[in-house]
């Protein structure tokens, strides 16, 4: 019985080593690569950073490894690897979505995603809300931390009036304010209960008679307060 067990162990070990040896041969190394989902980063740059052009073994390629290698690309949010044996890899990239723009402390306009990350240079005429953090701290980019509520609100704006929002402000107390193109101002308060607040804003825009400069407080959606321009 012991001899049989030993023999089986030798055979299994041999098969394991043999399989590993076969899978490390050139036919099972990456020869063909396709990268899909890119809009802001270039295929050549991503391919170079991925390391796939150096023909690694198919076994060594993974989602985690690829995400780590491509983490330097600000637009890339997630990565999925599909292996088509014996030697083809398809890398599907999901890029972040810009929900707003914001100025750096050097007055450079950047795209911003829902988490407050700066994604890259944006044109001055970009048709997205601009973020602003009032009474900024020493942070050079507040939207990842103390001003993150403004980015989150920008990401949740409904189609009903999102195109009318020109500015999303947040102050040091966490109060978020929307400046509209009309121009009207809506005070949201904290970035919570947004669905009810947005419903209230849409209703006010559709059914109320407002004048430019009016300030509407929807902090409590069922208890709207309108302050006319020039009121203290």
Output the six-digit token pair for 143.
């939207």
In the structure, what pLDDT confidence band is assigned to residue 21 with cuts at 50, 70 and 90? Answer: very low
Q: What's the CATH code, domain 100-227?
A: 3.40.50
Q: How far is CA 94 from CA 7, 40, 71, 110, 138, in A?
A: 50, 11, 12, 20, 32
Q: What is the predicted pLDDT for the residue at 103? A: 95
Residues 28-95, CATH architecture: Roll (3.10)
Q: Would you say 198 and 191 are in contact if contact means Cβ atoms under 8 Å apart?
A: no
pLDDT for residue 142 is more than 70: yes
In the structure, what pLDDT confidence band is assigned to residue 3 with cuts at 50, 70 and 90? Answer: low
For tokens 């009810």, the residue is: 196
Query: What pLDDT digit, counting tens, does each position of 69-81 carry?
Result: 999 999 999 999 9
Q: What is the predicted pLDDT for the residue at 86? A: 93
Q: Phi and psi dihedrals of 134, rounded to 5? A: -80, 145
Q: What is the predicted pLDDT for the residue at 184? A: 95
Q: Provide the mean pLDDT of the chain.
A: 88
Interval 140-163 mean pLDDT: 95
Can you give the residue ranges of every domain in the chain? 28-95, 100-227
Query: What pLDDT digit, counting tens, does each position of 89-122 carry?
Result: 999 999 999 999 999 989 999 999 999 999 999 9
């Amino acid at each position: 019985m012991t001899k049989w067990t030993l023999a089986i162990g030798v055979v299994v070990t041999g098969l394991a080593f043999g399989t590993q040896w076969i899978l490390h041969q050139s036919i099972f190394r990456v020869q063909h690569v396709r990268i899909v989902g890119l809009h802001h980063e270039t295929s050549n740059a991503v391919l170079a950073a991925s390391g796939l052009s150096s023909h690694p073994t198919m076994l060594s390629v993974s989602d985690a490894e690829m995400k780590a290698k491509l983490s330097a690309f600000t637009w890339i949010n997630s990565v999925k690897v599909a292996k088509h044996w014996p030697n083809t890899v398809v890398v599907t990239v999901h890029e972040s979505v810009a929900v707003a723009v914001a100025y750096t402390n050097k007055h450079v306009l950047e795209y911003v995603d829902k988490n407050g990350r700066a994604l890259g240079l944006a044109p001055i005429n970009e048709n997205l809300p601009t973020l602003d953090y009032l009474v900024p701290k020493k942070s050079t980019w507040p939207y990842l931390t103390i001003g993150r509520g403004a980015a989150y609100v920008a990401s949740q704006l409904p189609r009903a009036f999102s195109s009318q929002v020109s500015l999303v402000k947040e102050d040091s107390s966490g109060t978020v304010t929307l400046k509209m193109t009309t121009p009207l101002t809506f005070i949201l308060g904290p970035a919570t209960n947004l669905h009810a607040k947005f419903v209230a804003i849409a209703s006010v825009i559709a059914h109320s008679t407002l004048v430019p400069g009016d300030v509407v407080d929807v902090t409590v959606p069922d208890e709207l307060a309108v302050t006319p321009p020039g009121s203290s």
